[in-house]
Chains A and B, each alone.
Chain A
Amino acid sequence: MDRLMGPAVPSPFWLLAELTYQCPLHCAFCYNPINYDSVRNELTTGEWVDVLRQARALGAVQLGFSGGEPLLRDDLEELVREARRLGFYSNLITSGVGLTEPRIAALKEAGLDHIQLSFQDSTRELNDFLSSTKTFELKRKVAKLIKQYDYPMVMNCVLHRFNLPHVGAIIDMALALEAEYLELANTQYYGWAMKNRAQLMPTLAQVRTAEAVVADYRARIGDRCKLLFVVPDYFEDRPKACMSGWGAVFLGVAPDGVALPCHNARDLPGLDLPNVREMPLAEIWRDSPAFNAYRGDDWMQEPCRSCDEKARDLGGCRCQAFMLAGDAAATDPVCAKSPRRGAVDQVIAFAARPRAPKTIEQPIVFRSNANSRSLA
């Protein structure tokens, strides 16, 4: 009854299909859950086709195939074909590992619209170190294949204290590979990245310098390549409207069918996440307690509740509130108005502590099946 009286729930815009958590890379900043290796029982081809049909009927139009590495699923071409038939705009979010010429040709033929290729750095050394693989040359080859098959190419590079000083060289690499967009994505501290936060967190000076370099390139290169650079929110005094609002545009489905209102909802306590194997997607989206938990602003506490900016940032990120303030319904501690802002400032101050060059005080924990099992 509440739902009938309340404002209508909008359609999801973006369906993120996380086809598998398995991945040939072992990136230290991966946002996948630490215990990903215990998630087995992946949805079958038929179950994914059903998810795509239901999501399209709900109004979703953008579709991301992600993971893990989605190319590890040998039914990817079949799912892409169904997505195209349904009218989705399909995006493949990949490390490039496994994107051979026969496969890219088959994906093109099946109707894939766009490929987003991740790099870890502009140098082989750091790319291969951060992903704990030897993949740098392979990624450059894949970038050429993407152009050869006339795909718009979005290059994505996750930034942190090790590669922020290389941001100019990373942009040069994107220009050389003729990427149309370059996402310079500052690390979001969830999952494996949170585990490695002490090593990955940049200094304020690094962030400001990188920002200036990006601004300088933007002015010089015009519309040759669109540079997306978002300042990591730890360094801002207002949080971001996470997911553009809970249950507003984003619908994620994990490899085992768990439906996610945000990428990291698995790590939030007390959320009874519905599974597409057990509930129709429309019911999950509109009626499930998990998708309504932080929808709108009824759930907000002070200082959000009475804040005149609450419609702009929607209280920020629920996962960050849980990790830093211990309460998923608290104001995101990134906000200067949060009584817990001190926790964020402490992390920033710690990042700027003096240390000998090239030393790593604590080893980085790479994302691997063995580490996942021992840490979970």
Chain B
Amino acid sequence: MQQIETWRAQVLEAAAAHRPLRIRGGGTKDFYGQALDGDILDTRAHAGIVDYEPTELVLTARCGTPLADIEAALAQHHQMLAFEPPHFGAGATFGGAIASGLSGPRRATSGAVRDFVLGAVLMDGAGQVLTFGGQVMKNVAGYDVSRLLAGSMGTLGLMLQVSVKVLPRTRIEATLRFACSEIDALLKLNEWGGMPLPISASCWHDGVLTLRFSGATAAVAAALNSFGGETVPDCAPFWASVREQQHPFFDGDTPLWRLSVPSITSALILPGRQLIEWGGALRWLKSDVDAATIRRTVSAAGGHATLFRGGDKSVGVFQPLAPAVHRIHQRLKASFDPSHIFNPGRVYAHANQSR
């Protein structure tokens, strides 16, 4: 394809000159990550759904396809991206959703982006077009490089095309809301997690626990009866506001931290306000407290902290890696992108940033 050839030339030229390329779709996630560096390579020039057969539960699309187009195509067949990727703006692309690796409210029960990636076509730093994985559910031929690309922030190469597993929308969805302390919410969410209940999302904030139930009619009806609380009519906008960070909690310029912790971690005592998702495993923190304090607290709980929005990025947006793990990262980067041209420094500054 013409576009691929154009990009190949651009990649080879950039590699020869050691000049970085900034792979970018709609730019809706420009705020996320460390430094933005290099000439923009706009993925939207390569768009479109390549293959989608609802009965195969697989969708293949080009990197620059608007995420909204994909969701609309799926909705026509009552299917969905079960990882509920956040858009963070009207122009979000499919490639950006995969590369950022961010998942929405359903993540705790359905899985993350990487759980649904089945295959990818990648242009590496030598301009080679490589196909990993495929369009089938089970595939153990070769290392699972396509899942590695989910969340790689474009640092390993230019994802040209990705295949994902899609799922049917659940028959019935209903949302309940009730007053609940943070400690009780964390306790209950973990207890319910061990019971066969159709909970598909949870959100605790400011003394209110909101739960979404999805599944067979009978199962959802039975759960609604036994849980009590207040039914939230037309609940989709609420969950979209949590996913898109349009919920009032996210308002204001105070730095937003994303704390990923084991779900059973008790209430994290940190200055600021919190909103809890994923059955306790994801805690959003709006706080001005210093990075070291946050990372110390979160690490002690067995998790990691990301400076998601705002704040001073010089503290490191992403938590530093253990040295032996960092070395593996460096070698992977060096082999897929020997000239260090793809989004360099977007995740970790490439030289010696390990602790």
A, B from the same assembly = no
- Which residues of B approach A to under 8 Å, CB–CB? none
